[in-house]
Amino acid sequence: MKKVALDDLIGLSAYEKVRSRFRQEIIEYKKNRRLPVGDRVSLVFENRNTVIFQIQEMVRTERITDLDKIKDEIDVYNSLIPNSDELSATLLIEIEDQTKIREALLKFLGIDEAVYLKIGEQHAIRATFEEGYSKEDKISAVQYVRFRLSPDARRAFIAGQDEILVLIDHPSYKAQAKVWKEMRESLSQDLTE
C-alpha cells in the first residue's frame, strides 16, 4: 500500500474548510474497520485513508506549520500503513474506571502473545506487536499490531469462504469476534493494494 507523502495533505486553512465533511466520511468508513473483541478490547484496522486523517488531525491540533515537523509526523504515522501481505491495527484496551487504570492494564501484560487472526481451520496468525508499548511491569492501553498473512492465508481472507475471527486467548482475558462481510471486504482492499 502506498505510503503517505507531503503532497497528500492539505494546509491548515484548507483543512478547516473540509474537516467536518472529511471527519464524517472517516467515521463512516471506520464503521467497517473497528472490531470490538469482548467488552474491553477493540481493534481499529489502519490503512492509508485512516492514516491521512490522523496526520491531518495531528497537524491541526498541534498547529504544525513547519514542513520538516509535518514530514516527521508523516514518517511516524506511515509505520501504521500495512504492506500488501498484512493487516495493521491499533489495539485499544478500554478501561472504564479511570482510578484503577494501572491495575487494570497490568492484567493485560502478555497480551502480545495472545492475539490471533483465525481464517477457517487452516490459518491462525498470531499478531506481531510493535515494540516499546509493553514492559515487564508496564503496558500501554494503545498497542500497534500486524497480522502477516502467508500467500494462502491472504487468498483465503480475500475469498471470504471461511469464517474469520480475531481471538484473544490471554489468562486474564478471553474473547473472540467475528469479522463480518463488509469488514472483510474493506480489509481485503488493503490486501490487494
Domain architecture of the chain: domains with CATH: 1-31+48-81 (no CATH), 35-46+84-193 (2.60.40)
For residue 25, count other CB atoms closer than 10 A to its CB. Answer: 13
Torsions phi, psi for 86 (to 5 deg): -150, 160
Q: Using one digit for the tens of pLDDT, what is the confidence trace for 15-64?
A: 999 999 999 999 999 999 999 999 999 999 999 999 999 999 999 999 99
Find, among 100, 85, 82, the residue nearest to 43 by Cα. Answer: 82
Torsions phi, psi for 38 (to 5 deg): 80, -160
Output the pTM of the full model.
0.91
Find, among 91, 79, 86, 85, the residue nearest to 139 by Cα. Answer: 91
Counting every residue written for the chain, the total comes to 193
